[in-house]
Structure 1
């Protein structure tokens, strides 16, 4: 018996953490994967619902510790606004999801923070007007979609 505890003593802190966390209301974090430098690479968050844990959110990180992706999960699928960052920490994209499918406003940014594009998804398909901008924020292109099919295009930038 003593050998078992010595051999598996590394499990004791983990078991204690799970036991303590299971008695607490609120959100529970699981570090799913880590970089060699110890920084988390991927985390899952759970909410206690009666006697079960419900997966509600995930966060991915760059090796430098900055967030890469963050978003909510509902019934195993992406839900709500998902945010994506460049490695240096500035905002890259925001995409709204419904039941795991892009649905709603989507925006992307250049590394300098200027808006790169803005448009709307309708049940996973590009729909309506999509506007594209250069790094200085000037409108360069407008596309109009109807349920994923390109209907018109207007180039705005003069060269």
Structure 2
């Protein structure tokens, strides 16, 4: 009984925290996400949260949690169902392979993250999937990085508008 009360209090606290912030989630999604986070911590297990696009009912956001933090693969999807980005977290920090995609499903760029920082060389591609180069992230042509930023910005605009 005491454990259940603690879990309930943790969930309620998380909901209060989430609702105090400007959110991209509905109240039900906030509750589901908070529950996944709390369960991952209280049960010492891996849990996941999925947000669907309202207009297509396809995945928009998929996050994995362990011990109350983002841990494991996370994915973001375009409205059309194609992957926008995929990466990995470890103990709440971005750590592992990172990939961004064009709306047509072809890869845009890929590289590695360690401790929330881009490391090593990153590959970048044209819209047909042809490899254009492999350089440190800050040397990727501005046009390619701008495409990524535009795609991510549009994703968040679509999420916030309730699509």
Q: TM-score, normalised by structure 1?
A: 0.58
Larger radius of gyration: 1
Superposed, 1:1-150 pairs within 5 Å as 34=26, 43-44=32-33, 46=36, 56-64=47-55, 65-144=57-136, 150=138
Q: What's the Cα RMSD here?
A: 3.2
Describe the SS at the equivalent of 1:136: coil
Structure 1 match to 2:152? none
Question: Which runs of at least 4 in structure 1 moved beyond 4 Å after TM superposition?
Answer: 32-35, 45-49, 52-55, 152-155
| Distance across 2 between alignment mates of 1:112 and 1:154 | 20
Greater strand proportion: 1
| Distance across 1 between alignment mates of 2:117 and 2:59 | 27
| Distance across 2 between alignment mates of 1:120 and 1:89 | 24
Aligned-residue offset at 1:153: 5.9
| Distance across 2 between alignment mates of 1:131 and 1:74 | 30
Verify the 8 A CA contact 2:58 2:79 in the aligned structure 1. yes
Unaligned runs of 5+ in 1: 1-31
Query: Quick one: structure 1 residues 118 and 53, their matched pair in 2 at CA, closer, same or farther if it must change by over 3 Å?
Result: same
Aligned-residue offset at 1:117: 0.7
| Bigger RCO (CA 8 Å, 6+ sep) | 2
Greater helix proportion: 2
